[in-house]
Amino acid sequence: GGDVTVAASTVALEKASSQTMAIVQDIESRAYAFEFTIMCAYIVSVLVTIHAIYRSQKPSWSWPIVVLSSCNLTKYAFVRKFWKQPEPRITKKPFALLALVTTLVLAGASCIQLAFSHSMATLLFWAMPYAASAIVFGQFVPPLPDLHRPMRPAQADQSSMAVLTSLCLRAVLFRALEGTYYTTLLPLIFQEDKFLYYNRAICSLLVAYTFAGNVTLLSTQTFLLNKMPLVFEARNVGAWARCSKPATAAEQWHRGSLYGKAVVVEYRGAWWEALGINSTKSAPGDWFAFVAHHTWLDETGPAKTSRVLLVLAASQFAAVASQLVLTGYSLQWTPFAGLGAGSLGGMLLILSSCESSCPEERESKAAASAFKPPPRKPTPWALLSALRASAR
């Protein structure tokens, strides 16, 4: 009896381990698919921006700026590849390490060529996002929320209790601004010919489309990789909403206290009602906790029923549709055609993420379909009886 129990436990552990590895591999492949799509969108953006400014007479530093932009924005894929707590895993990935060395060599060569073909001051523009990241995040490369999840602060009045939501929103915004800066703003800044005419309205549209499209893709990637932790945070932290003065005196809000649902407190001369499902521990007026409560709270179902993914897919579809309209009616249709192709790829990736399910869901569906009886061919008598039943 003991041997049978041990064997059954071993089989159960192996099955759980295989399912866990399948889930981890599925998440990693999805993360790399988004990183590749975002990188392609950035490359398309810098190419169409240079084309919109210079047309066929491109300057000598156009290709170095394309290569350097691409190399700078691949850092997130390398961080995702090498990072593993408690220490980075660099030596165990020889092919990825070779790709990293190649990227660094190309970036260095592009820096030298850009400095000689344009000016040495251009290198300072490339260092600005790293300095901004050090100021905002305390490190030169912004953290990835699914790999560098922060600890919850002990005091709610010093920072937001919804720390993961705050990190996700700040990381998405920073990465979108960084990519837009590298791919669309720098080519405009480096343009020094006073007699060169280019359509500034089209360049402004390229900047806006690049930023909006990358916000959508980065938001989708971040949500898919941090879905359940975000849901847990929204349920654990709770939120507050302003309300009218209650008939009875309300107690003052105290840091560290838990408040049940619909409890009214007074905080800084205003009255607030607790919205948490079980309890609320965030501070009244905590904007990130409010966003977490109203955005992630009901995202417990499969991806195809997610309201967040539906909104992101609709936003990407609107961007693709408007770019197709501009491609058909604009005199300079080439930049919008390029952006439309990149946006279409991003929309297909978002839709595939909405339709895909995790490996354990696919396994359960396959097991359920194995017990279904095989479909029978309809006979005339069966169709006649079905018509009679519907008529009744």
Give the model confidence (pLDDT) of 309-330 as tens digits. Answer: 999 999 999 999 999 999 998 8
pLDDT at 323: 93
| Parts of the chain with a pLDDT under 50 | 85-86, 153-158, 357-378, 380-381, 383-384, 386-387, 390-391
pTM, two decimals, is 0.81
Give CA torsion, residues 16, 21, 27, 29, to 10 deg: -150
Query: CA 300 to CA 40: how far, in whole Å?
Result: 31
pLDDT at 381: 45
pLDDT at 197: 82
pLDDT at 15: 62
- What Å distances lie between residue 3 and 6, 7, 8, 10, 14, CA to CA? 5, 6, 9, 10, 16
Average pLDDT, the chain: 80
pLDDT at 84: 55
Strands (E), the chain: 240-243, 251-252, 259-260, 264-267, 270-274, 279-280
* Residues 351, 76, 58: CA angle, nearest 5 degrees: 90
